[in-house]
Amino acid sequence: MEKYDVLIIGGGPGGYVAAIKAAQLGKKVACIDNKQFIGGTCLNVGCIPSKSLLNITHKYHDAKHNFASRGIECKDISFSLDKIMKTKDSTVSGLGQGIAGLFKKNKVDYFNGLGKFESNNKISVALNGGENKLLEADNIIIATGSVPVTLPNIKIDEEKIVTSDGALSLKKVPKKMIVIGGGVIGLELGSVWSRLGAKVEVVEFADNILFGFDSDIRKEARKVFEKQGLTFKLSSKVTSAQIKNGKVEVEITSISGGNSEKVDCDVVLVAVGRKPNTESLNLGKIGIKLDEKGRVMVNGQFKTNISNIYAIGDVIAGQMLAHKASDEGVVVAEIIDGQHGHVNYDTIPGVVYTHPEIASVGKTEDELKNNNVEYKIGKFPFLANSRARTSGETDGFVKIIACKKTDQILGVHIIGDAAGELIAEATVAMEFKAASEDLARICNPHPTLNEAIKEASLAAYFKPIHL
């Protein structure tokens, strides 16, 4: 039996980062993960493959629909789905090999298999090669991530009725796809297949898409996506989906009126959220406490009710974001080392990698309104930004919300080209408790999209120049 200072169950963005950080701090470290490549769901069937497909399909769609208006003639443009998938797989394997190299460099032992608790400091691992091992550690970190939520009475086969996993590896472009859920995953993967020619309809339980985002962003996003060809059936739910004669018969019911209709499609994507991946860990055996949603309960130091066992990432409360898990991985390694790391959850940005992208950090206007916080708003459209005009990417805007009394920035919300990159400037500003005037007085290069952030900041504290 091998003994370690720190043992991590889960090799995703939280687990592998925690492993490397703990090793850098001088600990003897091991990491257990059962995926094909180290990197967890994010690398294997999540963030990375989906962004690869989003990037490739956007380029194809842009060339097919927009190049001619800009003077570039592309005749008979086509795509090879097989090559697109091979490119995606190559990206995944390359990054996975990179993480394996980082483990080797930092002397982290890696066990490819399924781990479960035998006691509070012993983990048995069923290795994918068939062998079993027993590992012991002074400290154990649970970082097993999340899995897709499924719906009752809808059987997933990952071919015609799929989760996000199956939607990343379809063998052909469906003529019609129904996406259940108008959140981040549904919109991203719906966009991928829509760009390749599928007719995509999104069925959403709420009265608008992207629940939890700022209401102005949600309205603009729906308008833009409808312009791209996606259709939305809101305040509705899918009550059944059955494969019949090679098609999927989907029953959609209106929440308000109760009226139902049956629609045929080629593929149904179930994208109604994710849940903690803890079922195989044998947590009940050692008495780890879970909350009502099945998440591992931790204190402010990421400790469970068992003092030497910690948990991070999607298995605990909070946003299910890869970068949030990575930050927690660094911090928990520091805490185990006797340091005092912390995560500022008020400045963790979120991004939707559709086109245009959507990015957000801090409070939404709805949250501030509900909490009776006095605020002011500055908005600036990309239509008035010179870089956006030169590139033809004029959809969207920047919205900055600041405290009415102190001018401190409380939230920034962007829908537009490269929003996921632009949000970093706002995140840094918020981390240092900047006022909208502070951000407005930063000199941005011209012409850049960043100037829209400056102008929105100007609008929040006084008046914009170019509007």
323 is catalytic: no
* CB proximity list for 10: less than 8 A, separation 6 or greater: 31, 32, 33, 40, 141, 142, 143, 144, 145, 313
Q: Which of 465, 445, 446 is nearest to 455 (CA)?
A: 465
Report CA-CA distances (Å) from 177 to 154, 161, 206, 245, 371: 16, 10, 20, 16, 39
Question: Of 65, 342, 446, 466, which one is the catalytic site residue?
Answer: 446
Q: Which residues are catalytic?
A: 446
